[in-house]
Structure 1
Amino acid sequence: MKPTRLLSLLLVCAFAVSASGCFKPPRNMPEASVIGFDGTAAVPPDCASLSRPSLLTDAGIRRPSMQWGCATYTNLAAQVARGEDLVAPRTLGPADAAVAASAVRRYETGRVIELDKSTSRTSK
């Protein structure tokens, strides 16, 4: 094998190995328990506490730190309907088989109930 070919193969392998680790999040990612409850509603986490320094450099300059999970947990806190469920979740009740069977029967017979136009939107 020619030395230039060997060198280029080694460079490609070195780049592939180094690039494969670039997109992995840190191992100590926060859990969903960072979402709090103040007695009335879910409280999103303080994003500064989720900040992790970047291990990557760009042309010799260290990249800014990342706030892993900040947007995810902030959006999740905004979507929680009952904040109490974060502290003491309710138990899952039994499924209503009659309602499910009725929906399947209506679908099979072509008698599907249309969505309420005043509260639902079309996918268009």
Structure 2
Amino acid sequence: MAIRSEPKPRRRAHGAHGAHRARRAAAACAAAALAALAGCMSGHPPYGMPDASAIGYDARTGLARAPDCAALEQRSQMIDAGGARPGVSFGCATYGNLAAMLARPADLVAPLPYAGADAALGASAVRRYDEGRTTPLNATSTTTAVTH
């Protein structure tokens, strides 16, 4: 007498199922990355916070002027043991540093017009690269001597 066993149920090929699973995982990763990066999008500052217009320009000296931190100060809404905490000048350091880093402060009031990209110059650079006619970088770079 022969013992019959039940046939095993057929499983899908791993190729089709695995590819579908990989696509779903990739889509989930892309959605998570997009959601994480959405927080980095710059938008309007919250109510009461300064924006870039807090940086001034002194036409007499030609320099950018850092914002007045006293004008930006907001009183603290928190009370610590019955005493109010000191206020905070949100944005003061950020815009003060930005004012110090401007290469051409006059751009705040009269920016140079944008002439657009030079397509011919870009095409010739790519052509020179493709043809191997590029100029090598200088061998005396200041970054080669840096040691930590």
Which residue of 21, 25, 28 corresponds with 2:48? 28
Paired residues, number: 99
- TM-score after normalising by structure 2: 0.51
Which residue pairs with 2:100 in the alignment?
78
For CA contacts below 8 A with separation 6 or more, give which structure has more relative contact order: 1
What residue ranges of structure 2 are gaps of 5+ in the alignment? 1-44
Structure 1 ranges of 4+ moved more than 3 A: 57-61, 98-107, 111-118, 120-124
Task: State the shift of 1:81 in Å.
Answer: 1.2
Distance 1:61 1:114, change over 3 A: farther
What residue ranges of structure 1 are gaps of 5+ in the alignment? 1-24
Which residue of 66, 75, 91 corresponds with 1:44? 66
Which residue pairs with 1:95 in the alignment?
117
Once residues 126 and 99 of structure 2 are traced to their aligned partners in structure 1, the CA distance between those partners, rounded to angstroms, is 34
Amino acid at match of 1:31: D
Per-residue CA deviations over 1:45-91 (Å, capped at 9, x if unaligned) read 11111100111234554322110100110011011111111112222
In our comparison, the structure showing a higher alpha carbon Rg is 2
- TM-score after normalising by structure 1: 0.59
Say what the alpha-carbon RMSD is for the aligned residues. 3.4
Instruction: Give identity over the alignment, percent.
Output: 49
